[in-house]
Amino acid sequence: MTEINEINEIVDVFQDANSLHDALTPLRAAGPVHRVRLPNGVPVWLVTGYAEAREALSDLRLSSHNKGDAMYRSALSPRVQAAMRNSMLRTDPPDHTRLRKLLASVFVPRRIEALRPRVQEITGDLLDRLAAGGAVSDLIAQLAGPLPIQVICELFGVPAEDWDSYREWADAFISGLGAAVFPVREVTDFVEHLYGLVAQRRAEPDDGLLSALVATSDQTDRLSEDEVVSTVFMIIIAGHETTTNLLGNGIYLLLRDPDRADRIRAHPEELKPAIEEFLRLESPVAGAPARTATEPLNLFGAEVAAGDMVIISLLAANRDSSVFPESSELRMDRDPNPHLAFGHGIHFCIGAPLARLEAQVAIGQFLARFPQASLAVAPDALQWRPGIVGRGLTSLPVSLRS
């Protein structure tokens, strides 16, 4: 367990992903804000309390124009830098307001719901492959990973032959955030490929989301090319990583206690609230993207200087026992469940409906297709992916038959 002394003492909490909850629990108990160190050595302020996290997520003094990438920015070309800093996640009002409005006009609920049959089809194909394979399968590699990247790539019209590359690039970027070594080559390849795809959709438009964004950018005072690429970059990263983690974490939490899996099989209508509890207990996004204080401020007792970086721990906030009784336990009927897994305020995840849809389809179909599925290893033998942003398993070995 991490020992906490003075609020300004720098604490290492990100060194071991497998013990992250053990590190966050005493932090949260000792106070809502602490000075911690990222794996790359950079000190940041970490917000751990639920009420404080919710308030900080809406605090405009904490700018999304953070300086967290300063240590590797010089290694990136100006074009790659532009593609990384012009999305909604990296902007404040009024730019954020404009970008959010434009994207919301394209990323509408009916477009997401229209994807349900295709999500069901892709899931069915992946489950067919599982059934045709061996008795033990890695559900991260064979279901939770492929499904979200295929869905998001189809949404943007990315050719099937590029799906594996997009997944590798997205994984590299997420793993590199806050790490000692940033994947400059992978990120550069990713961004350059997106610029080429945008140019292709401008020349040969289709009925996909990317063509809709490009058409919007071609109008006066609309999305620029950098903004289109940055938006696509953000959605692919977020749409892949977070949903992969949600699917893997959810299936793990169910199979850890077979009675829970049987309960959902018998009462499939209970899957929706169960997914909300998966989101709370093992939040697929451990921490909101780092923000920067625009002025000196007292942040819940911590004296934060202008320019200091602040990370809001969604994982810690969602286990705050003052809001969630028995916060470390899985209660699939928890009601109310005001978790912060998708954030809060102006940066609330615009892709939340798609993530929920994919989880409903994939977890529901998996449980129905494999009624005898069980974990192939002990829960404590599983490894959690390192990093400061995502919260997901590196692999999930499952026995598909008893």
H/E stretch holding 241 reads helix 225-255
Higher pLDDT, 27 or 222: 27
Does any domain span residue 6? no
What is the mean predicted confidence (pLDDT) over 136-158? 92
Per-residue pLDDT, 4: 43
Residue 150 sits in a domain of what CATH number?
1.10.630.10
Q: What is the DSSP string of 250-315?
A: HHHHHHTSHHHHHHHHH-GGGHHHHHHHHHHHT-SBSBPPPEEESS-EEETTEEEPTT-EEEEBHH
Domain span including residue 221: 11-399
**Residue 2 included in any domain:** no
Q: pLDDT tens across 49-102, in order? A: 999 999 999 999 999 985 545 545 567 888 888 887 788 888 999 889 888 887
**What is the pLDDT, as a whole number, of residue 72?**
56
Q: What is the mean pLDDT of residues 32-61?
A: 94
Helical (H) or strand (E) element with 119: helix 116-132
Strands (E), 8-143: 11-12, 33-37, 43-47, 62-63, 136-138
Q: What is the pLDDT of residue 76?
A: 83
Q: Is residue 107 part of a domain?
A: yes
4 within domain boundaries: no
Q: What's the chain's average pLDDT?
A: 89
pLDDT of residue 67: 53
140 occurs within a structural domain = yes
Cα(96)–Cα(87) distance, integer angstroms:
8
Measured CA to CA in angstroms, residue 305 lies from 7, 44, 294 at distances of 14, 11, 8
Check residue 231 and give its pLDDT.
Answer: 87
How many domains is the chain partitioned into structurally?
A: 1
Beta bridge partners of 166: none
pLDDT of residue 279: 98
More confident residue, 125 or 175: 125
Which residue's entry shows tokens 């071609």? 218
Highest mean pLDDT, choosing among 114-118, 123-127, 209-213, 237-241: 123-127
Predicted confidence (pLDDT) per residue in 244-283, tens digit? 999 999 999 999 999 999 999 999 999 999 999 999 999 9
Q: In whole angstroms, how far apart are CA 170 and each of 28, 160, 248, 249, 362?
A: 30, 16, 17, 19, 21
pLDDT, one tens digit per residue, over 162-184 is 988 988 888 888 777 767 778 88
- For 364, phi then psi, to 5°, come to -60, -45
Structure-derived torsion over alpha carbons of residues 204, 206, 210, 213, reported in degrees to the nearest 10 = 90
Question: 84 lies in a domain?
Answer: yes
Spatial distance between the Cα atoms of 30 and 28, rounded to a whole number of angstroms: 5
Q: What is the pLDDT of residues 295-322, one digit of tens each?
A: 999 999 999 999 999 999 999 999 999 9
